[in-house]
């Protein structure tokens, strides 16, 4: 377990010190020979034709536009000033409730009684 811990710690240290280039860090910290990958050479690509951007036609200059006349806003008639304080409203008189005619009393409803069952005198 210890070699794996050492290896893990060294990779963590290498990652924190050297960023993403862990192979370079592992080579220097652990003295491990990491073989370099050989990249095969690509065949020479033919020269691509140069793409020329066509020149855009020049935009003709716009003629001078005449000045727009200013529109005068007509003055509104003078509005009356709104009072700052709200005038007190008159008190509303209290309305007395009329007496309702006396309603007749209804008889109280009577419910039938539930007969009681006789006690069972056997086993308690």
For 93-116, the pLDDT digits (tens) are 888 888 877 778 888 888 888 888
Q: Taking a C-beta distance cutoff of 8 angstroms, is the pair 15, 22 a contact?
A: yes
Note the helical H segments in the chain: 2-18, 22-30
Q: Specify the higher pLDDT residue, 123 or 111.
A: 111
- With tokens 């862990």, the residue in question is 22
* Domain ranges (residues) in the chain: 1-36
Interval 64-80: pLDDT, tens: 888 888 888 888 788 78
Token pair recorded at residue 8? 């893990």
Give the range with max mean pLDDT: 2-6, 36-40, 51-55, 117-121: 51-55
> How high is the pLDDT of residue 32?
62
Q: pTM higher than 0.85 for the full model?
A: no
């Amino acid at each position: 377990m210890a070699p794996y811990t050492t290896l893990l710690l060294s990779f963590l240290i290498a990652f924190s010190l050297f960023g993403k280039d862990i192979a370079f860090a592992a080579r220097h910290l652990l003295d491990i020979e990491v073989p370099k990958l050989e990249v095969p050479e690509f065949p020479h690509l033919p020269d691509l034709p140069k793409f020329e951007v066509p020149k855009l036609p020049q935009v003709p200059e716009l003629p001078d536009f005449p000045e727009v006349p200013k529109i005068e806003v007509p003055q509104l008639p003078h509005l009356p000033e709104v009072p700052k304080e709200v005038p007190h409203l008159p008190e509303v008189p209290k309305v007395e409730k009329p007496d309702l005619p006396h309603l007749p009393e209804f008889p109280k409803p009577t419910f039938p009684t539930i007969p009681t069952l006789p006690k069972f005198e056997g086993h308690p």
